[in-house]
Copies of this chain bind each other. A is one copy, B any other.
Amino acid sequence: MTRPKSSFAGELLKGASQVFFMENSLTGILFFVAIAFASYASGVWATTIGAAIGVVVATLTARLLDCDEKSVASGLFGFNGILVGAALPTFIAASPQLWAYVVVGAATSTVVTAAFGATLTGKWGIPGSTGPFVLTGWLMVAGAYSFGGLHVTGDAPKLATDYVQGLAPIPQPIELVQIFFRNIGQVYLLGSEISGAIILLGIFIASVPAGLAAAAGSLVAMVVSIVMGADPTLVSQGLYGFSPVLTALAVGVVFLKTSPKVVIYALLATVTTVFVQGALDVIVAPAGVPSFTAPYVLTMYLFIAPKKLMAPHPHRPVAGHIVGHEHRQTGARTEQPRDQPGPSRV
């Protein structure tokens, strides 16, 4: 297969765009603009610098490890690195150790991406997606509490409490618009609605169906989180919407072929993601880490894993067990061909 050699800059920009499943340099440029705008607005440039370091280090590491060339060129080894690079300075104060941490974290994210590719994808057919970012990010942020050279800002290991404020008042229309765009910006850990709008524009440039799915995911998340009475502060910051946005995109457009049935399936997945967001916020609180995109990752894995013709295990004996009665009879294996992962699996 002849294929024009991609430029390194192109790989980095595509890596940025792959956070939303796109492979488009212009989209990647817009995403970097969105990140930079949020830094400009807040005056904190560490996240933009971290994102740039992250995607460079992750992509270089993939080249050094001779990872699948086409995948590297498509940016598939860069998008977890850019998220690690953006996330660590968001939660850890700048220090010399932080930058060493970002470099090691981004390099490790590439190894984790390759590990997920070899197992979850290669053996089970489930896309790793941003799972490597979530795992690497959790380990790095939790680890930061243990090192005097790193200081976690704005979070701490704690126990969740029951949020019993009852139903929150429905936000004003202008707030609803802000939430709609922040839900998208927070995928890149950006609380700015302007950044969210730039990102949505970037998605539409690459794919109109993807843009529609992202918008629909944001709307569904907003409605469900408000109706369920989620903490209005979190809803307002877009923190209940970014994972559902990714779920709507992934399940509705990217990993399944869109059809009426898939739309309903993606709707169920998106609503479930809002609930899983609430759950993971509680479950990871004692570790003092944010849930990152874990609500999307977990829900997407569960909704993409099922395969046609697969059945759950019937409540009958498994074959070939170490203490199974049949292990002295070689003919026993053929009894349950459907349960057996192929005749030569032992």
Contact = CB atoms under 8 A, between A and B. Distances in A.
B125 A148 contact: no
A47 B322 CA distance: 31
A282 B313 CA distance: 30
Which 4 A-B pairs give the minimum distances between C-beta atoms?
A148-B229, A146-B278, A127-B313, A114-B306
A268 interface: yes
Interface string A310-335: 11111111111111111100000100
A207 to B, nearest CB: 10
Q: How large is the interface on A (under 10, 10 to 19, 20 to 34, 35 or more residues)?
A: 35 or more
A343 interface: yes
Contacts of A228: 97, 147-150
A126 interface: yes
A312 B278 contact: no
Interface of A: 18, 21-23, 65-68, 70-71, 74, 76-77, 97, 101, 104-105, 107-108, 111-119, 121-129, 138-152, 156-168, 227-231, 254-259, 261-262, 265, 268-269, 271-272, 275-283, 285-288, 301-327, 333, 339-346
A146 B312 contact: no
Interface centre among A108, A161, A323 (most CB of B within 10 A): A323
Contact of A97 (B229, B257, B288): B229
B227 A317 contact: no
B344 A140 contact: no
A229 B145 CA distance: 11
A129 B281 CA distance: 27
A122 B311 CA distance: 8
Contact of A104 (B123, B126, B254, B268): B268
A18 B301 CA distance: 26
B321 A77 contact: no
A323 B118 contact: no
Interface centre among A149, A158, A280 (most CB of B within 10 A): A149
Contacts of A231: 146, 148
A90 to B, nearest CB: 16
A227 B104 CA distance: 14
A160 B159 CA distance: 11
B343 A344 contact: yes
A346 B311 contact: no
A126 B119 CA distance: 10
A163 B148 contact: yes
B345 A344 contact: yes
Given A114-B312, A115-B303, A149-B227, A157 B285 contact: yes
A22 B318 CA distance: 16
A120 to B, nearest CB: 8
A118 B287 CA distance: 31
A109 to B, nearest CB: 10
Nearest to A168: B148
Contact of A74 (B229, B287, B314): B314
A113 to B, nearest CB: 5
